[in-house]
Structure 1
Amino acid sequence: MIANTATRYGLVARLFHWTIAVLVLVDIALGLIGKFTPQSGDTVDFLQLLYSSHKTIGITVLFLAVLRVIWAISQPRPVPIHPERRFETFAAETVHWVLYAAIFVLPLSGWVMHSTEVGFAPIWWPFGQNLPFIPKSEGIVVTAATVHWISGIVLAATIAAHISGALKHAVLDRDGTLARMWNGREVGNGATKHVTVNPSLFAAFAVWVFAIGGALTVFAPTYHDVVTPQLPTQKTAGWAVQNGNLSIAITQIGAKVTGDFARWQSTIEYDPETGIGTANVIIDTSSLSLGSVTDQAKGPEFFDIASHAQAVFDAEIAQIDGTKHTATGNLTLVGQSVPIAFDFDLEMKDGIATVSGGTTFDRRDFGMGAAYPDESSVGFSVDVLIELTATLAP
């Protein structure tokens, strides 16, 4: 029988149940494997394949969940077999409501993460990658990641409770509860009625409020403080940088990935009359944020922050023509010193200098990413961009 009755689940409901169950368990396994697989040149292709699979299965679960709810609304719900066991019935229905919410919250929060963070492990479908109206935002990434993490824990705990209950009915009670969903057997008294306003729905809602609210309160601020510290006002010998942004861009698997360094300091001497000066920039490479590949970028194959916590650029500034300037010097990175030229525009107005420019270097010149001998996974070029405003130091 395709449709539900008061004493059995129909074929459609059973197909939804077991299909979603298998996909969820597979997706949990993929997520855990990805979590505990170190990012390196040997694993990048594997992780890209794994996370694309994880995301695609998650989106599939989300849309199957929508269809399942639509079908459930149109069908009678089989009544409890033991309505006299009030607490057991309450607990079972609470678990069901929590599970229903989980198969929406978990993939949806993952999709928000995918839409807002940089990095590229695409969803395998032709309908676009990002949710509409979701901006690229570190704050949204942190919130979505926290919700995704805690909802995964809630889902795993609820699945364990659900399986335990099913085994109890099958092994101890032998009452046919599992058979209802396994092969559609008719079990129970169809005359029993469901409670119209179900207290288990409110209990499930309370579980989610406690879980997500607690996680966002306890964990999200800590994570955000670590990942995105505020850039302090930087005092220099000649000029004081009032605000600025030092960013980089790389290419990973054909997609542009951008990030920035949250902590850096500069000592700038510059004479507007002659257009000549010097610059010394010290960058805390551990403050790099590069989206989903941050940990890999900080690892030994690239910036190697454990052994080289700083990058230093010492340069001489020269005016080329009008606002066009260049800073020529050595960039010391991961123990290697390489000459580079940093071209920038400098505009002076009312005693405020506005600087915007950049340079591009080849990661191979610094021995970075030796495990990536071609550009199929990670491009050779690294773009460095800077924007800042500065005033004469008192």
Structure 2
Amino acid sequence: MSLKNTPRSYGSLARGLHWATALLILTTFPMGWYAESLPYDSSEALAYKAQVFSLHKTLGIAAFFVGLIRILWALTQVHPVAVNPEHRAANWLAAVVHYGLYAALLLVPLAGWVHHAASEGFAPILWPFGQSLPMVPKSLALAEAAGLAHVTATWVLLGFVGLHVAGALKHAVIDRDGTLARMLTGRAAGQDGPKAQGAAVAAVAIWGVAAAVAWTTSGERGATPVAEAVPQVVATAAPGFWQVTEGSLKIAVVQMGTRVEGEFASWDAAIRFDPEATEGNEADVRIALASLKLGAVSDQATGPDFLNAAAFAESRYTARLIPQGDAWLAQGELTLNGRSLPLDMPFTLTPRGEVTQMSGRTTIDRRNFGIGEKYPDEASVGYLVEVLVDLTARPSAEAER
């Protein structure tokens, strides 16, 4: 049994890699589908869902390396001739599917891997590759783009697989020409004939159309604002008010032993502040809860088990700003999930020319606000949620709501 291909047969290595690839596709795709369908309405359910996703990701990485080895090996081998060279249209279509599948073997798992590396936490890869990739930062935009590419490429892969299986069945049941036996046993078959011209270009065109359609439809879905609950600031002439020019409002929580960080995309702060005064300084912050982006679990975080953004669209924090030596203290009340509780946040101010940078940190216990009640321990989600505020502001006019 020859390891290498011949002009009329596939070698044992090519056949082994082919069937290993088929097995990985037939297990990884259903596993991902199954993981997506699993509920996460309890600590145990979330842990099981994460385990299935971890296995899905691990098998996907295996598929990537098997596919890479298969392609590299194919580049060093002669490609066996067609069994029926007179069937030019069928052979051309088979070549298109062949090139399309080779691209999918790399694009599908690689896009998923980048999505994982760019996301925060949830379902780690089990193999010792680490949870990150070189030159892939933790980025919500990158994670969303990679996730879209992963889903799109998966559907293209399934289309090519369907065509490939249909062709194999035609050869086996209708033509009975030995094509399938050549891949199963290494049996020699085929004869010289014209090569399929332009098949690789056609495969690239199919991938290009799929990418364009996915990008267009995702843009249409993303055109609707995430949340409109936070009113805009309307400025009128009055001293003492500050305008936020840029900033971030983030949270961090330990999920299944890993610290994950998310950010609210929509929030508003009305700040009245005089650095020389000891009284009368105050802040009023409103946060659109549905705008939270927390990697792969954004929907879960804003869903009914946690922030419940459908029932409570907005969280509000009002506070007095009190000097504390070289630092400051925001002493106020946080309203979240229908409950209002005292919350203090130490912060620092750093003048930068015409603007001032503010940095503050505090911690809340999710249990105090009735968040994640179906997760009574910290096996899946930690109790403590760190709140991280960093913004730049400058003196402005009064902000009226």
1:184 is the counterpart of 2:186: yes
- 1:336 is aligned, of 321, 331, 339, to 339
| 1:194 to 1:375, Cα distance in 2 relative to 1, 3 A | farther
Q: CA deviation at 1:162?
A: 0.8
Counterpart for residue 201 of structure 2: 202
Query: What SS does the corresponding residue of 2:273 show, helix, strand or coil?
Result: strand
C-alpha separation between the residues in 2 aligned to 1:202 and 1:366? 57
* Candidates 279, 283, 286, aligned match of 1:279: 283
Counterpart mapping for 1:112-123 below 5 A? 112-123=114-125
The count of aligned residue pairs is 389
Q: What residue number does 1:175 align with?
A: 177
Instruction: Give the equivalent residue in structure 2 for 1:317.
Output: 321
Q: Which of 142, 153, 156 does residue 154 from structure 1 map onto?
A: 156
Matched to 2:75, the amino acid is: I
Distance, in Å, in 2 between the alignment partners of 1:228 and 1:91 is 47
Q: CA deviation at 1:383?
A: 0.6
* Post-superposition offset of 1:350: 5.0
**Matched residues in 2 for 1:333 and 1:177: separation?**
65
The equivalent of 2:136 in structure 1 is 134
Query: Which residue matches 1:87?
Result: 89
Query: Kindly tell me: are residues 44 and 173 of structure 1, through their superposed partners in 2, closer, same or farther at Cα, counting changes over 3 Å?
Result: same
Indicate the SS of the match to 1:379: strand
CA distance in 2 between counterparts of 1:267 and 1:168 reads 69
Deviation string 1:204-258 (CA, Å, 9 cap, x unpaired) is 12111222233234425754875699x9985577222222211111111111111
Q: Distance in 2 between matches of 1:29 and 1:315?
A: 51
Partner of 1:33: 34
What is the rounded CA distance, in whole Å, between the counterparts of 2:131 and 2:354 in structure 1? 45
Say if 1:234 and 1:240, in contact at 8 Å, map to a contact too. Answer: no
Q: Contact 2:118 / 2:142 at 8 angstroms: preserved in 1? A: yes
In the TM superposition, what is the alpha-carbon distance from 1:63 to its structure 2 partner?
0.8
Alpha carbons of 1:254 and 1:224: their partners in 2 closer, same or farther (altered >3 Å)?
farther
Higher mean displacement: 123-132 or 247-256 = 123-132
Report the secondary structure of 2:347's partner residue: strand
User: Structure 2 residue aligned with 1:305, among 278, 291, 309?
Assistant: 309
Q: In the TM superposition, what is the alpha-carbon distance from 1:51 to its structure 2 partner?
A: 1.4
The normalised TM-score by structure 1 is 0.92
- In the alignment, the residues of structure 2 paired with residue 17 and residue 185 of structure 1 have an alpha-carbon distance, to the nearest angstrom, of 15
Distance 1:99 1:347 in 2: 56
Compared with structure 1, are the counterparts of its residues 221 and 111 closer, same or farther at alpha carbon in structure 2 (3 Å cutoff)?
farther
Q: How does 1:1-394 map to 2 (within 5 A)?
A: 1-2=1-2, 3-41=4-42, 42-189=44-191, 192-193=192-193, 195=195, 198-220=197-219, 222-223=221-222, 234=233, 238-276=241-279, 277-322=281-326, 324-348=327-351, 352-394=355-397
Alpha-carbon distance in structure 1 between the residues aligned to 2:127 and 2:264: 34
CA gap 1:325/1:199 in 2 versus in 1, 3 angstroms:
same
> How many Å apart are 1:4 and its aligned residue?
2.2
Q: Deviations over 1:135-193 (max 9, x none)?
A: 2222322221221111111001111111111111111111111111122222233xx15
Q: Using the alignment, how far apart are the partners of 1:153 and 1:120 within structure 2?
A: 24
User: What's the CA shift string for 1:264-317, capped at 9, x where partnerless?
Assistant: 122222232223322221111011111111111111111011111111112222
**TM-score w.r.t. length of structure 2:** 0.91
Maintained 8 Å contact 2:337/2:369: yes
CA spacing shift, 1:241–1:347, aligned 2, 3 Å: same
The alignment yields a C-alpha RMSD, in angstroms, of 2.3
